[in-house]
Amino acid sequence: MFEQAKEMYASIGVDVENALEVMASTSISLHCWQGDDVRGFEAGATELGSGLAVTGNYPGRARTIDELRQDLELVLGLLPGTHRLNLHAIYGDFGGKSVERDAIEVGHFQSWIDWCKAEGIGMDFNPSCFSHPKADDGLTLSHPDKGIREFWVRHCQASRRIGAAAGEQLGSACVTNVWIPDGMKDLPADRMSYRQRLEQSLDAVFAQSLNKAHNIDAVESKLFGIGSESFVVGSHEFYLGYAAKNQTALCLDAGHFHPTEGIADKISSVLMYVPHLLLHVSRGVRWDSDHVVLFDDATQAIMQELVRCDALGNTHIGLDFFDASINRIAAWAIGTRAAQKSLLLALLEPRAQLLEAEAERDYTRRLSLLEMSKALPWSSVWEEFCRRNEVPGELTLLEKVKTYESKVLSAR
Ligand code: RNT
Ligand code: ZN
């Protein structure tokens, strides 16, 4: 089936082997927080807060670093290609000790860096400015209280240093992404002062210059959250401006816009003004619900734009979803593979023909080509990619997860 597919694609000018090479060299950053419902390993960790919510109580949640690593090792074995780990600061190896967020050091993450090295993968990092008493007002870097602001500035500064150490040790730049929950449930009387303070805090966070080969700074906007329905300090406009002005990376989370607003169309605009793009591929259902990513129109459109804009080189693809109502390993694997399948479909587009039709203003042919490419045997190419990487194909994926569930997860 693969050989037939390859010939069929060749007949419309698509080089399947080239597509598979790009697939092999495009890594997805696996968000550690799908494995334990965004709890982390801080001593006496509090409830998930700051507008983040995980629903479901499926058995088998990773409760320790060892369990999370064991689960991640299984997930990595279910994904074709080489990927990365995206770690939040609350997942440090604190050895049961309580370590304040502004006191985290590289040492607390050394065992993760070592684990990544052993797995042969890169690492990305995130300060965790949520689920903490000092975030209970719904404000962190923009808080009117100088002491609280500075506490979070120190946390973000420490996070960048940890990111840079990971990047240096692993020989691959770490993307350190700052997302904060700051906002208000009801109408603010003074939006401007919060945004001015956020800018000042971010300037302090990014003041230390770090080697860009080790650390890439990113900022993530949001439209609204639970408890910040009327006002989010770090809105899209705020961060687009900040990232363009300061030449940081911009993170576009697929769930952080109006429900019918996709992020695909933003990619070509954003990349004209910022050096790097970070994606949080996610799926919002009616709100920023962080459902498991699917092989759906929105995800396919994102990947199409990355390919069409030749943007894979300066885009960092991360995932951001958390579903505790189904097997968490399956959620990780299904979501990541959906992003990968979408990328493959985009790479198999009859690009030359599409460009030709567009140049000739033959939009009938353009539309017809787009529909035709959906009907081509891309799935045979996907199965071949899985086979070459010695990971399960679509028919056997769930079997592997279920075996692990009955052997390992059910004993937790
Ligand atoms: C929250 C943001 C953020 C978080 C993670 C845990 O709305 O999407 O990226 O989901 O950092
Ligand atoms: Zn996100």
- Per residue in 144-180, pLDDT (tens digit) is 999 999 999 999 999 999 999 999 999 999 999 999 9
- 404 band by pLDDT with thresholds 50, 70 and 90: very high
**What is the fold, at CATH topology level, of the domain defined by 27-349?**
TIM Barrel (3.20.20)
Q: Ligand 1 pocket: which of 176, 278, 280 to mutate (most atoms <8 Å of CB)?
A: 280
Which pLDDT score is estimated for 69?
98
Q: Give me the percent of the chain exceeding a pLDDT of 70.
A: 100
- 299-358: pLDDT as tens digits: 999 999 999 999 999 999 999 999 999 999 999 999 999 999 999 999 999 999 999 999
Atom of ligand 1 nearest to the CA of 220: 9
- 197-227: pLDDT as tens digits: 999 999 999 999 999 999 999 999 999 999 9
Task: Compute how many other C-beta atoms are within 10 angstroms of the C-beta atom of residue 53.
Answer: 16
What is the whole-number distance in angstroms between the Cα of residue 320 and the centre of ligand 1? 7
Average model confidence (pLDDT) for the chain? 97
Task: Give the mean pLDDT of 261-290.
Answer: 97
What is the whole-number distance in angstroms between the Cα of residue 342 and the centre of ligand 1? 22
What is the whole-number distance in angstroms between the Cα of residue 381 and the centre of ligand 2? 30
pLDDT for residue 52 is more than 80: yes
Task: Output the ligand 1 site: residues, CB below 6 A.
Answer: 33, 38, 52, 126, 179, 220, 222, 253, 280, 288, 320
Ligand showing the shortest atom-to-Cα distance for residue 322: 1
Is residue 412 a contact partner of residue 59, using CB atoms and an 8 Å limit?
yes
Alpha helices, DSSP H only, in 186-229? Answer: 191-205
- 229-252: pLDDT as tens digits: 999 999 999 999 999 999 999 999
Dig out the tokens for 129 from the structure: 């400015």
Atom of ligand 1 nearest to the CA of 320: 10
Ligand showing the shortest atom-to-Cα distance for residue 38: 1
- 67-98: pLDDT as tens digits: 999 999 999 999 999 999 999 999 999 999 99
Atom of ligand 1 nearest to the CA of 222: 7
Task: Compute how many other C-beta atoms are within 10 angstroms of the C-beta atom of residue 280.
Answer: 25
Between CA 403 and CA 75 the distance in angstroms is 13
3-state helix, strand, coil split of the chain in percent (to 5) is 50, 10, 40
What is the whole-number distance in angstroms between the Cα of residue 179 and the centre of ligand 1? 7
Between CA 268 and CA 262 the distance in angstroms is 13
Between CA 252 and CA 266 the distance in angstroms is 9
What is the residue extent of each domain of the chain? Answer: 27-349
CA distances 164 to 42, 126, 313, 377, Å, are 22, 12, 20, 42
**Pairing mode of beta strands 277-281, 315-319:** parallel
What is the whole-number distance in angstroms between the Cα of residue 259 and the centre of ligand 2? 15
Which pLDDT score is estimated for 144?
98
Active site residue ranges: 179, 220, 222, 253, 256, 280, 288, 290, 320
Which pLDDT score is estimated for 48?
86
Kindly report the protein residue whose alpha carbon is nearest to atom 3 of ligand 1: 179
- 44 band by pLDDT with thresholds 50, 70 and 90: confident
pLDDT for residue 45 is more than 80: no
